[in-house]
């Protein structure tokens, strides 16, 4: 098989690396890819801009000329711009929902309306396009409260406001255009407490197959403090998600979502990612849906996957998921992100990275996110630079391997949280 992977992050490096473990996969083309995918054997990068609709036709032409069997869309932005629709018009096989399906992530108001229609447990909410009305609502309601820009805002559109002043500031920012059109509609939500878990499920619009559960650490600082990031580390499985809870998530959330999408005429094929809050009462509630694999969660999930990834994604894309079971290796997987100093704020780029081979020789897998090549050597090029990952018989053993491997890796200003997995590790700190 020849496969295209769209995207340039740790998620896409993890997908490409996993695909290439299979003898069924001859060649992978990453568009645009990163420094990690550029160095994989049987893999090449193709530098096209995936955030521009006018490039989608070029991708389709390339795929037809090169007899590509499957195109996997990594990030949400091209999905929201309709890349799947364009490629499918050329009769290409695509893993990733249509533009209509991607609204589940691209419009929080749309997702909330769908959840309401399907009676899916989630935070109570109100939607506003008018600032004075939003302000009046916040002033008359309970604090804490959560303010969300409706559209895609690179993970920065959510404010969990612990005071009225913070809530009002978040409204001013959104309505003053900080998030562009994405913030002109604002969703105001009830504040939920509990523990978060990520459920990434494959679906072909009929059958839904959840992957093993995962937990992410979104905040930059240890003890889950400071600003939100794309995710500073993850592990799988999440012991919090017991088989009973998993069954409830399936029945109460995933199945009704797919059914309701279908009712709206959307055959959703790709990943349905449910970001969940497990309340202190043990009930799962949806915080948000995403239309793609979570990153870094997928970096902690793929090393445990036993079924060949290309088989699963191809079956999903073709509507044949009912015939596919998913099997997993035993044990646990841990992923810790090595980030650039300053992230999620401003950071410098271009620093040489050393020690990746040494870390891998110690049994870790190093997924590259914000890297590029300079004179054939990896240098930093993004906020989240690497996802250092390892499998172990237990979460403790997996994290031990990861933190040992990280000690071998260097680049100027490297930052890692030392407490990733604190909920599942016996020894919370090194
Ligand atoms: P989102 O981008 O919607 O995943 O939100 C980012 C983060 O904000 C989530 O991972 C949660 O930690 C937090 N969050 C979002 N919505 C709520 C809510 N209704 N109650 C409490 N925390 C929330
Ligand atoms: N790790 C969170 C996300 O991918 O949205």
| 196 Cβ below 6 A of ligand 1 | yes
DSSP annotation of 424:
T
Tell me phi and psi for residue 27, to 5 degrees.
Answer: -150, 140
Nearest CA to ligand 1 atom 5: 158
| 218 Cβ below 6 A of ligand 1 | yes
| 105 Cβ below 6 A of ligand 2 | no
Taking the C-alpha atoms of residue 50 and residue 171, their distance in angstroms, rounded to an integer, is 31
% the chain with pLDDT above 70: 99
Structure tokens at 136: 């009046």
Strand-pair partners of 235: 215, 334
Q: Which segments of 277-319 does DSSP mark as H helices, in order?
A: 297-301, 309-318
DSSP annotation of 341:
T
More confident of the two residues 430 and 243: 243
CA of 167 to the centre of ligand 1 (A): 14
- Chain centroid to CA 332: 19
% the chain with pLDDT above 90: 95
What pLDDT sits at residue 298? 98
HSE (CB half, 13 Å, CA atoms) of 389?
A: 29
Convert the pLDDT of each residue in 258-293 to its tens digit. 999 999 999 999 999 999 999 999 999 999 999 999
Residue 144: cis peptide before it, omega within 30 degrees of 0: yes
For residue 396, count other CB atoms closer than 10 A to its CB: 16
User: Quick one: 47 exposed, middle or buried, by C-beta within 10 A (0-12, 13-18, 19+)?
Assistant: exposed
| 294 Cβ below 6 A of ligand 2 | yes
Q: Which segments of 177-264 does DSSP mark as H helices, in order?
A: 243-249, 255-263
| 295 Cβ below 6 A of ligand 2 | yes
What pLDDT sits at residue 177? 85
Q: Which segments of 352-418 does DSSP mark as H helices, in order?
A: 356-361, 395-406
- Chain centroid to CA 83: 18
> In the structure, what pLDDT confidence band is assigned to residue 211 with cuts at 50, 70 and 90?
very high
> In the structure, what pLDDT confidence band is assigned to residue 184 with cuts at 50, 70 and 90?
confident
In this predicted structure, the answer to whether residue 428 has a pLDDT above a threshold of 70 is no
- The rounded mean pLDDT for the chain is 96
Pocket probe for ligand 1: among 121, 158, 170, the residue whose CB has the most ligand atoms within 8 Å is 158
In this predicted structure, the answer to whether residue 379 has a pLDDT above a threshold of 60 is yes
Convert the pLDDT of each residue in 401-427 to its tens digit. 999 999 999 999 999 999 999 999 985
In this predicted structure, the answer to whether residue 99 has a pLDDT above a threshold of 70 is yes
For residue 113, count other CB atoms closer than 10 A to its CB: 15
| Residues 114-126, mean pLDDT to the nearest whole number | 97
HSE (CB half, 13 Å, CA atoms) of 259?
A: 12
CA of 390 to the centre of ligand 1 (A): 27
More confident of the two residues 392 and 228: 392
Convert the pLDDT of each residue in 41-85 to its tens digit. 999 999 999 999 999 999 999 999 999 999 999 999 999 999 999
Taking the C-alpha atoms of residue 416 and residue 406, their distance in angstroms, rounded to an integer, is 9
Which residues are within 8 A (CB) of 215 and not within 5 positions of it... i.e. 6 or more apart? 195, 196, 197, 198, 234, 235, 236, 238, 240, 297, 423, 424
What pLDDT sits at residue 179? 82
Nearest CA to ligand 2 atom 3: 294
What pLDDT sits at residue 109? 96
In this predicted structure, the answer to whether residue 131 has a pLDDT above a threshold of 60 is yes
Ligand 2 atom at minimum distance from 155 CA: 5
CA of 290 to the centre of ligand 2 (A): 8
Q: Which of 207, 200, 198 is nearest to 268 (CA)?
A: 207
| Residues 340-366, mean pLDDT to the nearest whole number | 98
Convert the pLDDT of each residue in 144-173 to its tens digit. 999 999 999 887 889 999 999 999 999 999
CA of 337 to the centre of ligand 2 (A): 13
Residue 6: cis peptide before it, omega within 30 degrees of 0: no
What pLDDT sits at residue 411? 98
What pLDDT sits at residue 154? 81
What pLDDT sits at residue 376? 94
What pLDDT sits at residue 427? 59
What pLDDT sits at residue 180? 82
Residue 344: cis peptide before it, omega within 30 degrees of 0: yes
| 123 Cβ below 6 A of ligand 1 | yes
Buried b (16+ CB within 10 A) or exposed e, 16-44: bbbbbeeeebebbbbbbbbbbbbbbeebe
| Whole-structure pTM value | 0.97
């Amino acid at each position: 098989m020849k496969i295209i992977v769209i995207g340039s992050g740790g998620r896409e490096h993890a997908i490409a690396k996993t695909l290439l473990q299979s003898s069924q996969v001859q060649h992978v083309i990453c568009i645009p890819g990163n420094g990690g995918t550029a160095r994989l054997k049987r893999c090449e990068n193709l530098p096209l801009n995936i955030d521009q609709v006018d490039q989608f036709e070029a991708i389709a032409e390339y795929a037809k000329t090169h007899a590509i069997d499957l195109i996997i869309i990594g990030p949400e932005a091209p999905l929201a711009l309709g890349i799947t629709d364009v490629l499918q018009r050329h009769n290409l096989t695509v893993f990733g929902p249509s533009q209509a399906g991607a609204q589940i992530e691209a419009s929080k108001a749309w997702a909330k309306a769908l959840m309401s229609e399907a009676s899916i447990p989630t935070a109570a909410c109100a939607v506003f396009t008018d600032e004075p009305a939003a302000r009046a609502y916040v002033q008359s309601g309970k604090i804490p409260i959560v303010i969300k820009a409706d559209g895609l805002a690179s993970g920065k559109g959510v404010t969990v406001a612990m005071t009225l002043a913070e809530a009002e500031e978040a409204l001013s920012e959104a309505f003053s255009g900080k998030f562009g059109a994405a913030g002109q509609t604002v969703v105001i939500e009830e504040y939920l407490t509990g523990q978060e878990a990520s459920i990434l499920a494959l679906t072909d619009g009929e059958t839904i197959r959840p992957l093993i559960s995962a937990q992410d650490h979104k905040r930059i600082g240890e003890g889950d403090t400071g600003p939100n990031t794309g995710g500073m580390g993850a592990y799988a499985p999440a012991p919090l998600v017991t088989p009973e809870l998993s069954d409830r998530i399936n029945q109460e959330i995933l199945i009704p979502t797919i059914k309701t999408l279908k009712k709206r005429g959307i055959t959703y094929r790709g990943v349905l990612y449910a970001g969940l809050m497990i309340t202190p009462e043990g009930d799962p509630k949806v915080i948000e849906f995403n239309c793609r694999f979570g990153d870094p969660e997928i970096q902690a999930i793929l090393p445990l996957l036993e079924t060949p990834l290309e088989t699963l994604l191809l079956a999903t894309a073709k509507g044949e998921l009912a015939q596919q079971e998913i099997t997993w290796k035993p044990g646990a997987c841990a992923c810790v992100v090595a980030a650039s100093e300053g992230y999620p704020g401003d950071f410098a780029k271009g620093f040489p990275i050393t020690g990746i081979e040494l870390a891998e020789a110690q049994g870790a897998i190093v997924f590259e996110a914000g890297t590029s090549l300079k004179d054939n050597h990896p240098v930093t090029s993004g906020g989240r630079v690497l996802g250092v990952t390892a499998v172990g018989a237990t979460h403790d053993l997996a994290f031990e391997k990861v933190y040992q491997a990280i000690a071998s890796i260097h680049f100027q200003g490297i930052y890692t949280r030392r407490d990733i997995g604190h909920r599942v590790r016996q020894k919370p700190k090194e």
